[in-house]
Amino acid sequence: MPSIKVLAEREERGVRFTGGHTLCAGCAEPMVVRTVLNAIPDPVVVASPTGCLEVATSRFPGTAWNVPWIHVAFENAAAVISGVEAAYKVLRKKGLLDKRVRFVVFAGDGGTYDIGLQALSGALERGHDFLYVCLNNEAYMNTGVQRSSATPKCAAATTAPVGEAIPGKPQERKDLTEIVAAHGIPYVAQAAVSHLIDLANKVERAMNYEGPKFINVLTTCPLGWRTPRDSAIQQAKQAVETRYWPLYEVIEGRYKINYKPKEHVPVEEWLKTQGRFRHLFRDPQGKELIAQIQAEVDRRWELLLKKEQCFGVGG
């Protein structure tokens, strides 16, 4: 498994994602992208749909990408990488290319959970050989912090504002990791920017499998979450410790939880550090809403434990 030293040595041999981009101060996305790319020793082709990462890394005349990189529409990153991967297989079959090349998509939750879900589902069903990394900051941050289906319940967003009608987003967040796992692909995982070695290990394990691979990475956003610029790692770590964002894998249908917090940390401890949930701690109905959020976190965690028990890697 890659260590920090191994990842650093790989980057020294060839920087794949450079500085000079214009992502916000404190943004977690560069750390995730560099970790993923450095965990893959083979040549890499990347596709990115419209989003924070694309906009901030490719402004003419500069680029932060030191690998072949394709900007595609919001909705079709998975379809485009499928076509590139199919063309690559044809070239290899004809003997025109002998290099082992890997194909990676970096897309936000808006371009994955919502707009790009149809293309992603189709690519998974067809069985194309690529890794899809969802940079999940839980809203459409690039266009003004609009809610997505990854946005948690009661979070304030510009299209789900706090007011008399609704206390932020009324709906629960979509469990896309489980939706992807239901496609029966070889490798699915959840990771977080706070656990980069865990992320690197998952990327390396994913590369052992032929076919579609998917990793949903909690990628904190100080702007949209209304948190200090130096809090990205701590925010993600607390999401893991409260069991809001479990770290786990589904390997050929077998579940493995990578980290089980020793203590039960209430999700309230995570919510109160973010401005998008500030209203829950000053409104009369806040305690009831926090209790609902906690109940859903507990429900999903218990269900995950049962899946590991019934369909575990060692079972």
* % of the chain residues with pLDDT over 90: 91
pLDDT at 3 over 70: no
Phi, psi dihedral angles at 69 (to 5 degrees): -135, 135
Structure tokens at 43: 């040549």
User: How many Cα atoms occupy the beta-carbon half-sphere of 282 within 13 Å?
Assistant: 7
For the chain, the distance separating the N- and C-terminal CA atoms, rounded to the nearest angstrom, is 23
Amino acid 20: pLDDT: 85
Domain of residue 110, residue span: 4-311
| CATH number, domain with residue 160 | 3.40.50.970
- The alpha carbons of the chain give a radius of gyration, in whole angstroms, of 19
How many separate domains does the chain show?
1
Amino acid 12: pLDDT: 63
Q: Where does the pLDDT of residue 8 fall: very low under 50, low under 70, confident under 90, or very high at 90 and above?
A: low
The predicted-structure confidence for 59-114, as pLDDT tens digits, reads as follows 888 899 999 999 999 999 999 999 999 999 999 999 999 999 999 999 999 999 99
Cα 152 from chain centre:
15
Cite the beta strand spans of 211-275 per DSSP E. Answer: 213-218, 248-251, 254-257
The pTM score is 0.96
pLDDT at 196 over 90: yes
The residues near 66 (Cβ < 8 Å, ≥ 6 apart) are 14, 15, 16, 17, 18
The DSSP call for residue 112 is: I
Calculate the average pLDDT of the chain.
95
CA angle 79, 151, 176 (to 5 degrees): 45
pLDDT at 21 over 80: yes
CA angle 15, 188, 89 (to 5 degrees): 65
SS3 at position 250: strand
Structure tokens at 188: 């699915």
